[in-house]
Every structure is written in C-alpha cells, then in structure tokens.
Amino acid sequence: MLEILMNAVQLLEFSRHGLLGNSAPLLASGEGALGLTLLIICLTAVIGLGVGEIRVFGIHLGIAGALFAGICVASIAKEFGMVADAQVLGLLREFGLILFVYTVGIQVGPGFFNSLRKQGLYLNLLSAAIVLTGALCAIAMSLLLKVDMAAMAGIFSGATTNTPSLGAAQEAIKSIAPLKSGLSAEVAALGYAVAYPFGIVGILVTMIGIRSFFKIDLGAESAALKRDAEETQNPVDRITLMVQNPSLEKVAIRQVPALLQMGVVFSRIRKAGATVVNPTTESTVLECGDVVVAVGKRSNLQEAKIIVGCESNEDLLHAPGEVTIRRLIVTENRVLGMELGQLALNQHFGVTVTRVLRSEIVLPATPDLSLQFGDILQVVGKENDINSAAKEVGNSVSALGSTNFLTVFIGIGIGVAIGSYPLQLPWMPAAVKLGLAGGPLLAAILLSWIGRIGPLVWYMPATANSALRELGIVLFLSCVGLKAGDKFFALLSNGEGLTWMLAGAVITLVPLLLVGVLAHLWLKVNYMHICGLLAGSMTDP
C-alpha cells in the first residue's frame, strides 16, 4: 500500500511539472486541466482497485476502494498544488452512475416482476422492511444527534453500502438546494465514505451473531434448503415409458390432449422392429408395446406414467438410429416473442423441443412459452432437420456475444429523459425528479423486461454488462472521492466524523438484527435465505 502511494506521489509530481510547468500552483481549466484530471482519475482507479483486493480477516473493500483512493489522492494532489477540474469530475461522475444503474437494470429486468411472486414476495417484503427501518433510523439519528439531513442521506447510503442511493441522494439535494442553501451534495459523499466501512463489517457481524446466538446448524440448514428447492422448483426431467393403455392404441401423439396440457413431450419412440423414429410427424401413432422417452416437469411425468402405462428400464438415449440431441440458441429477431406453439418446429421441420434453458433455469417446452433472445432450446430430431430448425431460430453464437450499442444509447437516452421530467407532488415544496440514478434504472428494467420493440432488442451479454457496470461504478466512486477528499480528514479530526460513524452503525445494525431475528424465530426462514436477504437488502456482494 505504501509503495503504491509513493508511486502515486511521484506520478503526480511528474504530472505537475509536465502538464503545468513549475510555476503553475493550481489546475483551473483548459486542455491541461482535462488531461491532468483524467490522469488523476485513472491513478485513483488503479490504486482503488488494487487496495480493494487486499483482504483483512477475509474482508475487503472491493470496488469501494476507489472511493477511499479518491479521498487520499485528492488530499495528496492538493499538497502539490493540483486540483482536478470540477466540471470534468461532475461529468464523469454522472456518466459513471448512469452506466452503473442502467446495466444493473438490464441485468435484473427480465426476472424483476417474476421475483415478486411466490417465495420472492415475502423475501422482497422483508428486504423492504430492512430498507424502511434503516430510513427511519436515519431520520431518528438526524434529529437525535443533530446531523444535517444532507449528510444523513449520505450516511444512510454508506451504512447500507448502497451506491445508487448515494447518486439518487445527490440528485435530490441538487434539486432542492435552491430552497435550502445549507444543503450540499459533497456533504452526502462525505457521510457515505464515513459510514461505508462499518456497513460492510456490520452485515457480516449480524450473520455471525444470528448463527452463534441461535446455535444454527449450517449442514442441516443447507440440506433443508436443497429439499425445499427440489419440491418447489419441480425441475424438468425425463422418463422412459411403455405404452399399455388400450385407449391409446392407434392414437396419434398429437391427439393426446392430457399430455399437451401438462407440457409433456415425447422425444423418442421405439416401435416394433427396434427402430427409433422421430415422434413428431403426423403419421406417428401409439401402439401397445411402444417404448417412449417423455420429457417434462417431474410431477407431470408421474401423471403421464398413469396415462401411458408403466415405466420401462430401456435406455433409448443410446439406442441406434438417426435421432440426435442438440441445443439451439434463439438469436433471430423475427421469432422473438413467438410462442413455441406458433414457432411449430415439429410441424415444419420434424424437430421436437424437449426443454428450454433461460438464464440457467430449465423450463418445460410448453406451447405457450414465449421465446426470448438467448433462450437455449434442447431439440431432438434428425441431423438435417435440426440444421434447418437452427436457421429458423438463428443459433448464432457471435450474435449472442455481441453488444448492440444502438439499443444501449437509446435506453440511456430514454432513462435520462424520464429522470429529468419534473413531478409535482402536492406535499412537496418543489417538483421532484427521478434523476440520473432513478430514470435510467427504471428505463432499463422496463425495456429489458419487454425484451423487444420492433427491430430493437434489449439484450446485453453478461461479459459486456459486467464490464460496463464495473467501469461505471469505478468512475462514479473515483470522482466522488476526489470531490470529497479535501474535507474528509478535517471531518474526522474535529470529532463530527465519530458522530457520523455512530449514526451509520445504528442504521446498519438495527434493521439487520430486527428483521434477521424476526425471520428466524417467527417466519422460520432458512438461515441461508436470511444471509441472502441481509446481503441483498444492503446491496453487499
């Protein structure tokens, strides 16, 4: 760490002489200001990412290291008479925030509304309880300790390790600052920096405390979680059946409505003569003694066994024949949003879709399942027929890995427009805006949930999403740290910083302990779920 800081000092000294000349005491504006400001930001990012990887007792700052690196670099740079250009810092800070929240929205959007259903509903309610209780604690601590509300907004963001909320708080402060001259967005950044370290530690302390106090058996909790997952997820499986139901004699597979309604698909069938044929053709009829491979949800397969006959020990997957299994990737824009029944690969190409993989989740191939970009179809059929079906759905690996920046900039533009629109609420003294944090986030969630509008597809590969998200958050935190650096150490030295730390600790611990204990004792939530709930509600990886 010391070596990194010494190299930073040498680099700043070189920058001062090279870019400004020996006589320039401060950096004000112009081309030199832009160059040195970018250099300082890059230096901050390098130091911050390096320091963020240093682990102490298994805990590390991660991306937040850029914030504290910015504070240190700003203080050192000031000693050498160099000040980063405020306008450049402001621009890159907002751009980084937009990139970060937009990519987060694109990532969570497709499953956002589904997460509110079933089990996700009560977990989301508990998470909301943690956030709201933390907000109430922030208001109470502001009144009790007489801490400025702008600073408390930053303390709340730091105590919950929630960077997007810091950006939202700064945007809100800017919108109401004309009404209250004492408010400052930089004060919020200081509060964030002061409260952030214990925000990380407090989450871990709470998890360990709940486990130790209630003597929770991690092995038993893990086994229970696995059993619950198998019962609730009803995973897609396959089973080999022998036709013994006389009522199915000479009946075409497509004319068995019960199987279609359950989403059970026959992927292979062995007729007399030990021949494995594709069961998707119109002429394929069932006969007693036929052996079929049925694919569907595990519970539905048991019902299918009752309808068809009995389970067979034969393995048709390795039987000789022309039928093969392949996976096809949906990348053709024309078929996006179509249902599997509309796509009708079986009627057009003689290929059967047995299951669909979407974001590592296996879905049954029901006729009403709508296709999304990146869906992986597991199909069964003859090689030539599968090749024809592949052209129909796209099956382009390069398209799956490419980023369409046209939709990225359209989405960001829509988000900025939404965030900039003033909303006049009757109980607010001034019009409020979602800002550059809320607008792009809302737009990204909605657009990625819709998936496609005309020729535009809102999809971003995981690698591109991760890269843009990390770039955005590093830019944002670096600039926030650089703007707050000259005041941070003065705040700690005058005693007010300790008061802020106390407020942050209360905001971190009280909601986590309250909801964590409630979830364990009253709601009987699995300890693994409680840990995920605490980490997720505090946006702490």
Q: What is the DSSP string of 258-322?
A: HHHHHT-EEEEEEETTTEEE-TTSTT-EE-TT-EEEEEEEHHHHHHHHHHHEEE----GGGSSSS
pLDDT per residue as tens digits for the range 176-221: 655 555 566 778 888 888 888 788 778 888 998 999 899 998 888 8
Q: Is the pLDDT of residue 458 over 50?
A: yes
* Mean pLDDT, rounded, of the chain: 79
**Unique residue bearing structure tokens 């407090």:** 202
DSSP label of 63:
G
Poorest-confidence range of 147-156, 234-243, 317-326, 485-494? 317-326
- And the tokens for 524? 């009987």
Q: Is the pLDDT of residue 255 over 80?
A: no
Averaged pLDDT for residues 33-60: 84
- And the tokens for 76? 């050192």
User: What is the amino acid identity at position 55?
Assistant: R
Q: What three-state secondary structure class fits 212?
A: helix
**Unique residue bearing structure tokens 């000294």:** 13
The pLDDT score that the predictor gives to residue 25 is: 42
Poorest-confidence range of 2-6, 225-229, 403-407, 415-419? 2-6
Q: What whole-number distance in Å separates Cα of residue 345 and Cα of residue 48?
A: 52
pLDDT per residue as tens digits for the range 84-102: 888 888 889 889 989 988 9
Q: Name which of 201, 232, 228, 225 is nearest 527 in CA terms.
A: 225
What is 444-482 written as a DSSP string?
HHHHHHH-EETTEE----HHHHHHHHHHHHHHHHHHHHH
pLDDT per residue as tens digits for the range 275-323: 555 555 556 788 888 888 877 777 777 888 888 888 887 776 655 555 6
How many CB atoms sit inside 10 A of residue 80's CB? Answer: 15
Q: What percent of the chain has pLDDT over 90?
A: 15
DSSP label of 339:
B
Task: Pick 233 or 34 by higher pLDDT.
Answer: 34
Angle at 304 between CA 381 and CA 292, to 5 degrees: 35
The pLDDT score that the predictor gives to residue 27 is: 47
Q: What whole-number distance in Å separates Cα of residue 505 and Cα of residue 497?
A: 12
Do 93 and 480 contact (CB within 8 A), yes or no? yes
Q: What whole-number distance in Å separates Cα of residue 149 and Cα of residue 168?
A: 14
Q: What whole-number distance in Å separates Cα of residue 421 and Cα of residue 435?
A: 8
Do 453 and 44 contact (CB within 8 A), yes or no? no
| Strand spans (E) along 117-246 | 236-243
Averaged pLDDT for residues 108-115: 70
CB-based contacts of 524, cutoff 8 Å, min separation 6: none
DSSP label of 56:
B
Q: Identify the helix (H) or strand (E) that includes residue 252.
A: strand 251-252
Task: Pick 229 or 502 by higher pLDDT.
Answer: 502
Q: What whole-number distance in Å separates Cα of residue 184 and Cα of residue 175?
A: 11
| Strand spans (E) along 332-488 | 352-358, 361-364, 376-382, 452-453, 456-457
- Kindly indicate the confidence band of residue 432, based on its pLDDT and cuts at 50, 70 and 90: low
Give the HSE-up count for residue 138: Cα atoms under 13 Å, Cβ half-sphere.
24
The pLDDT score that the predictor gives to residue 379 is: 84
**Unique residue bearing structure tokens 């109430």:** 136
Model's pTM, two decimal places? 0.66
* Edge-to-edge strand ranges of the sheet holding 275-277: 275-277, 265-271, 291-297, 236-243, 309-311
Q: What whole-number distance in Å separates Cα of residue 484 and Cα of residue 479?
A: 9
Q: What is the dihedral of CA 401, 406, 410, 411, to 10 degrees?
A: 0
- Kindly indicate the confidence band of residue 373, based on its pLDDT and cuts at 50, 70 and 90: confident
Q: Is the pLDDT of residue 427 over 60?
A: yes
Q: Is the pLDDT of residue 60 over 50?
A: yes
DSSP label of 117:
S
Do 194 and 151 contact (CB within 8 A), yes or no? no
Task: Pick 28 or 242 by higher pLDDT.
Answer: 242
Q: What whole-number distance in Å separates Cα of residue 58 and Cα of residue 474?
A: 22
First to last CA, the chain: 24
Q: What whole-number distance in Å separates Cα of residue 339 and Cα of residue 350?
A: 17
CB-based contacts of 419, cutoff 8 Å, min separation 6: 171, 433, 434, 435, 436, 437, 438, 439, 440, 442
- CA–chain centroid gap for 79, Å, is 40
The pLDDT score that the predictor gives to residue 430 is: 59
Burial-class residue 10 by CB neighbours within 10 Å (0-12, 13-18, 19+): exposed
Do 364 and 296 contact (CB within 8 A), yes or no? yes
Angle at 265 between CA 264 and CA 267, to 5 degrees: 145
Q: What whole-number distance in Å separates Cα of residue 1 and Cα of residue 95?
A: 29
- Kindly indicate the confidence band of residue 372, based on its pLDDT and cuts at 50, 70 and 90: confident
The pLDDT score that the predictor gives to residue 503 is: 93
Task: Pick 165 or 229 by higher pLDDT.
Answer: 165
Q: What whole-number distance in Å separates Cα of residue 507 and Cα of residue 504?
A: 5
Task: Pick 233 or 347 by higher pLDDT.
Answer: 347
DSSP label of 503:
H
- Kindly indicate the confidence band of residue 354, based on its pLDDT and cuts at 50, 70 and 90: confident
The pLDDT score that the predictor gives to residue 20 is: 46
Report how far apart, in Å, the C-alpha atoms of 221 and of each of 213, 214, 482, 537 are: 15, 13, 45, 21
DSSP label of 371:
P
CB-based contacts of 496, cutoff 8 Å, min separation 6: none
Q: Is the pLDDT of residue 274 over 70?
A: no
The pLDDT score that the predictor gives to residue 276 is: 58
Q: Provide Rg for the chain, Cα atoms.
A: 29
